[in-house]
Structure 1
Amino acid sequence: MKKKLLLISPGQFGYLTDYYYYCKYLKQDFSITFLCFDEGLEKKVLPGVQIKYVPLKGNRFLRYLRWLKFVAKEVIYSDYHIIFTYSFKFCFLLTLLSGNKSLIMDIRTGSVKENPLVNWFQNWLLRFESYFFDHITIISSGLIKHLAINPSKCHYLPLGAEILQDSNSGYDSIKLLYVGTLNHRKLHESVVGFSKFYKKYNAKIECSYNIFGFGSFQEEELLRQTIQDLNLSEIVKFHGRKNFDEIQDYYRESNIGVCYIPITPYFNFQPPTKTFEYILAGMVCIGTATYENSNLINEDNGILCQDTSDSFYDALEKYYQNRSNYNHDSIVNSLENYTWNKIVNRNLRPYLNAFVSDA
């Protein structure tokens, strides 16, 4: 019989990529139940996975009490073999309730707050929660050191993406794509760098830049104003927030993925999901030289730059000069071990099976 696996994540099912693919590739071997908030988004369905929703209503304090009560009840009164939980606030309480069930804490991110005090406190809280768990999965070895978590408890479980079929658009043009949050990214600097390149080369090569994402009112207005001030409204398009299904054609048609993240201590050890998505879609990735990006981006699949508009321009110039050297299959193959299929089947499944092999 299948062993029973409980996955816990406050984010609504289907909108945290990692957990969706965990379920997709584990459901043949495990009977999976997924606990999450109902955030009012379209409900995703995955046959073979039972999804239990907690209503997202009331103020923040009341909804969190409701969440903790719901999760506690599920953990105490159900006979799961393994409980795999996202590192939400006060998740350490599960260690007091789980009895002899195998319990795993999953860390997908450290704090990325700009405020140093808030950043320190959130990382301290994450470290405090980790003291209560004997088993922890985490996205990078660098984050283990950054958070000062006991490495003997930790199992490396990386981020990844799916290979996007029919995505070879060639490399004889400049078709930039950015997908993701705008908050704290200073993405307008990439538009400034692109503007400098466009003015020099637009007569020699086709250029475009599509941006999908959302952020604070101030961040979005800064991006729109930068595009307008540089007279790029016909070339640089800010589309706002879209679901992945709505923008797959842009992934197929673009040949450069932009992973523009400020190089700071709080982003340095945070592997960007988009780096995997761009490269496994066959795009050259222009990414800022954070510690984690530097481990993923090489001459075969991308170009590293600093977090300035001038350095972004230099990266575009380098792409232009070397565009004939890029090969779709070589780009995709450079990160083929980071497909969700391989991450789950070669990493997560054996890790989980070790907990139930003697059960």
Structure 2
Amino acid sequence: MSHIEAEGINVRYVSSKLGKIERFYRLISLSLSVIRKNPSAHIFIVYFPFCSLVSLFCRRSIILDFRTASVSPNKLARGLRDLFSTFESLFFQRVSVISEGLARMLRIKKRKVFILPLGADVISSQCKKFDYPRLFYIGTFGNRNLHHVIKGLSLAIDKRPELASCISFDIVGFGYGGEESSLKELAGKLGLNKIVRFHGRLFHNEAKGFFDKSNIGISYVPITSYYDHQPPTKTYEYILSGIPVIATATSENSRLVSSVNGVLCQDTPESFANALLECVDRFPDYDSEVIRSTLADATWENIAAKFKRQLVNGR
């Protein structure tokens, strides 16, 4: 994969060709080196296993950030990983988390926690046309049950056959366990080859065209205890791009999605089909600018400004 380049950001890499132990050693060493060369900077570490070693070897105050808890389907593995995350948080004076629910899940002490919510950039500023449905999904295929979405699409077309001639579904992303092949095979069996199109893995700047033209975003994660308090980034990305979203009714999605900017569904093909038809029926009422306004405070620019105030105030 190409190295990431962004204005104002200095990205340092550790070679993936090294062995795991050497790669980890270099990561810790590089982190300590960067910290020591920037004595006046605020230090912010997004959690990775054994990141507490950085805190142990550095006398500076460091903020530990959790963007997610473990999402392993294996209950024992998930519990052990979350327990270790909780243990490592003890080595940091301040901890930021993506949501209050995640803080409770990881049992982080309230006195050291502050909320640094998820957000997104406005990827598309175009006003969307709500004529015929153009569905769009971007993200990983792993542990997302996207076969429910494809089956639900088929059920919706069965209920309204006229959709078959005008609906489209663009999928951008990848999986590690043969998920794409399975999804393509399912789409073929259901006669959706001309409707469902796979585009592989793309960076968001490469996928901007899909954000510009689509008018229904799909934010589908299983409704489980380990996804419930972790808002999907794509929910923010679609809404801030003026796209109404069909999202599974996790606690966090339920907080973000309303009749103005989308439709909630359960994690079943039948519920997705009903949500899709409801979303299409609302097309005359949708307005991209109104949709964006529902999450206007969630742009990274606004979140960064709030985070800066929290750092200055020591909160």
Report the TM-score, using the length of structure 1 for normalisation.
0.83
In structure 2, how many angstroms separate the alpha carbons of the residues matched to 1:209 and 1:276? 19
Match of 1:46 in 2: 7
- Is the counterpart of residue 145 in structure 1 residue 145 in structure 2? no
For 1:299, what is the secondary structure of its paired residue? coil
1:78–1:321 CA distance, 2 compared to 1 (3 A): closer
Deviation at 1:196? 1.5
Q: 1:187 aligns with which of 131, 135, 146?
A: 146
Identity %: 36
Verify: 1:103 aligned to 2:59, yes or no: no
CA RMSD, 1 decimal: 1.8
**Which blocks of at least 5 consecutive residues in structure 1 are unaligned?**
1-39
Distance 1:199 1:322, change over 3 A: same
Instruction: Compare the two structures and name the one with the higher strand fraction.
Output: 1
Query: 1:72-221, aligned counterparts within 5 Å?
Result: 72-76=32-36, 78-99=38-59, 101-203=60-162, 206-221=166-181
Instruction: Tell me, yes or no, if the aligned pair for 2:86 and 2:107 is still in contact at 8 Å.
Output: yes
User: Which secondary structure state, in structure 2, belongs to the residue aligned with residue 314 of structure 1?
Assistant: helix
Give the Å deviation of 1:55: 2.4
Cα 1:305–1:57, aligned 2, differ >3 Å: closer, same or farther?
same
Q: Distance between the aligned counterparts of 1:117 and 1:52, measured in 2?
A: 34
C-alpha distance 260-43 of structure 1, shift in aligned 2 (>3 A): closer
Q: When the two structures are aligned, how many residues end up with a matched partner?
A: 314
**Residue 197 of structure 1: how far off its partner (Å):** 1.3
Equivalent position amino acid for 1:46 in 2: E
- Inter-partner Cα distance in structure 2 for 1:217 and 1:95: 35
> Residues 287 and 43 (structure 1 numbering): CA distance in 2 closer, same or farther, change over 3 Å?
closer
Query: Which residue does the alignment assign to 2:265?
Result: 305
The aligned residue for residue 232 of structure 1 is 192
Letter in 2 for 1:233: N
Taking structure 1 as reference, are residues 332 and 70 closer, same or farther at Cα in structure 2, changes over 3 Å only?
same
Moved more, 76-85 or 284-293: 76-85
Q: Is the 8 A contact 1:104 1:133 kept in 2?
A: yes
> AA paired with 1:308?
T
SS of aligned partner of 1:287 = strand
Letter in 2 for 1:348: F
- Counterpart amino acid of residue 12 in structure 2: K
2:196 matches 1:242? no
Question: Cα offset for 1:328?
Answer: 1.4
**How many Å separate the matches in 2 of 1:295 and 1:55?**
40
Q: Which runs of 5+ in 2 are unaligned?
A: none
